[in-house]
Amino acid sequence: MKLGALIFDVDGTLADTEEAHRRAFNEAFLRFGLAWDWSKPTYALLLATTGGKERIEAYIRSLEPSPSEASALTARIPAIHRLKTECYTRMVIAGDVPLREGVARLIEEAARAEVQLGIASTTTLQNIEALLRTHLGSDAMKRFSVVGAGDQVARKKPHPDIYDFVLSRLNVARDACVAIEDSANGLLAAKAAGLYTLVTPSYWTRTEDFSAADRVIPSLDSLLGIRDIERHLRTVPACAAGQTSRER
Ligand code: XBP
Ligand code: MG
C-alpha cells in the first residue's frame, strides 16, 4: 500500500506543548483573579479531558460549587480560555515550545515524497498556526492539505469526529493514511476513524495504554523515513488493532 497521507495530532505529537498550556492556564486564572493554580500532578489528571474549555469545566465540577457559583464560573470560561490562548501563543512565538525530534525532517520528507499532510487536533487553530509558523516559516500552514482543529467538530477526541472531518476533505483513501498521535484519547479517536495509528508517547502520556496502536516508537526521530512508515503500513491492515510493535 502506497502511503497517501500523514495526519498529525498537535499537542504532544508535533511538540511537547502541555507544560506551556499548563502555565498559560495558570496565568489566565491569575489575571482573572481566580485562586486556581494547576500543579503538574493536577494537570496530568486534568489532561484526561480533551479541550481547554472542557478541561476548565471539568475542574469547576471537581470543586463541587453551588449551582449559582457553577453557573457564574462556567459563564466566564470562554473569556478565560481566550486569554489563556493569548498567553500560550505568546510563549510559542517566543520560541519556548520546540518541535519534537524528527518532526520537521518527516514533514520535509513527506513533501518530497508527495505524501499529503493533515492535522487533526483538539487545540485551537490559533495555537496550531503559532506553532507551525514559528518553526516552519510564514507559509507553513500551506504545507498541510487539511487542518482540523478544536471547535470545528461537535465532539472532541476520543471521539473520531476530527479525524473524520480531515479524512472527508483529504482526497486519499482511508487505508492509505497514517495517524500520528501521542495520547490514549488521540489513539482512540484515530482507531475509531479506522486509521493505522503510530504513537509517539510524550512526557505527559508515557504511562497511558497504547495496546490498540499499530506501532509505538519513542519519537519520530527513530523512524527510518517515509518508506519505514510505508513498510509497516503494508504489514498491518489499517483497521487492525492490537498488533502493537512497541519499539524501544
Ligand atoms: C490536546 C488537547 C488540547 C490542549 C490544550 O490537543 O486536548 O485541549 O491540551 O489546548 P491534541 P486548548 O488533540 O492536539 O493533542 O486549550 O486550545 O484546547
Ligand atoms: Mg495530543
Question: Does 150 lie in the same domain as 47?
Answer: no
Average pLDDT over residues 178-187: 98
Is 9 noted as a catalytic residue in this protein? yes
- The atom of ligand 1 lying closest to the CA of 24 is 16
pTM surpassing 0.85?
A: yes
> From the candidates 11, 16, 161, 214, which is the catalytic residue?
11
| Residue 109 sits in the same domain as residue 77 | no
Q: Decide: 154 and 161 in contact? Cβ < 8 Å.
A: yes
* 243, pLDDT greater than 60: no
Q: How far is the CA of 66 from the centre of ligand 2 (A)?
A: 33
Of 42, 41, 73, nearest to 57 (Cα)? 73
Nearest-angstrom CA–CA distance, 188 and 205: 13
Residue-wise pLDDT tens digits, 27-36:
999 999 999 9
- C-alpha grid cell for residue 67? 449551582
Ligand 1 centroid to Cα of residue 18, in Å, is: 8
| Grid-cell match 496565568, residue found | 27
Q: d(Cα 40, Cα 46) in Å, to the nearest integer?
A: 10
Residue 76 belongs to domain spanning: 18-93
- CA 128 to ligand 1 centroid distance, Å: 10
Q: Do 190 and 68 share a domain, yes or no?
A: no
Does residue 11 carry a catalytic annotation?
A: yes
User: Would you say residue 116 has pLDDT above 60?
Assistant: yes
